[in-house]
Structure 1
Amino acid sequence: MPGTTKRKSANDRPLVEWIVGGIACVAIAGLVGFLVFQALTGDSRPPRLSVTVEAVERGESGAVVRVAVRNHGDRAAAGVTVHAVDGGAERSIEFDYVAGHAVRHGAFVFPDADIAPDRLAVAIGGFVEP
């Protein structure tokens, strides 16, 4: 009949559309399942911080001691303080945030240019867990 039109229903979708939709549904469910599993059973190590002296640069205004703070743990550390002592001079700096498995760089400035890396003591003063 020339005047009648046939409408497609929602069940008349192509098979490829159903296949792609099913694959996407399975992928999303798998991802959510994995994240829930990691949250419930995943071991996360607390922050384990270490500091090393990278370089000592001498200039007109004194010595700049460049340091690297490494976090070997899984969790982040905030408010990380680092102290450096050379003879009687002591300096400290604070890193606002060191993510898990990350490295942050900083520098101390000593007005005395006679800084010897072997007599310089650097140490982590403390941190908080965010």
Structure 2
Amino acid sequence: MTIEEIKEKLNRDDRFCRYNEMRIDVIRPGYAEAVMKITENKLNGLGIAQGGAIFTLADLAFAGASNAAGFRTVAFTSNISFIRPGTGRRLRAVATEVSRGRRTGVYSVQVFNDDGKVVAHGTTTGFISEEKL
């Protein structure tokens, strides 16, 4: 499967992200960017992007970066710190591989607003299966 086919598969098959209008925009082994428009249905009671939406966007970027090698990879631990409110027109999550072994990989994920300021920062550890995508 080519890298472009992996990107298409992840965008097509992640029904939750597709339903919530999130998509992988850039993908290459060990790196991915995912984007989300901030719309009315993604706001919390304070009128800013809901933390769960931000976390999901970060998780989608992780999925792109970790699965880009062609093997099914799922998160088994993840943490996120919210730095500033998610405001503006859209958010972009960037996942970068920190370490990849035979069965686990560690990824740093940052979510940015329109101004390029960090909204959230997290780390996800994934389990790499032997199963190809």
- Same fold (TM > 0.5): no
Q: Which protein is bigger by CA-based radius of gyration?
A: 1
TM-score (norm 1): 0.31
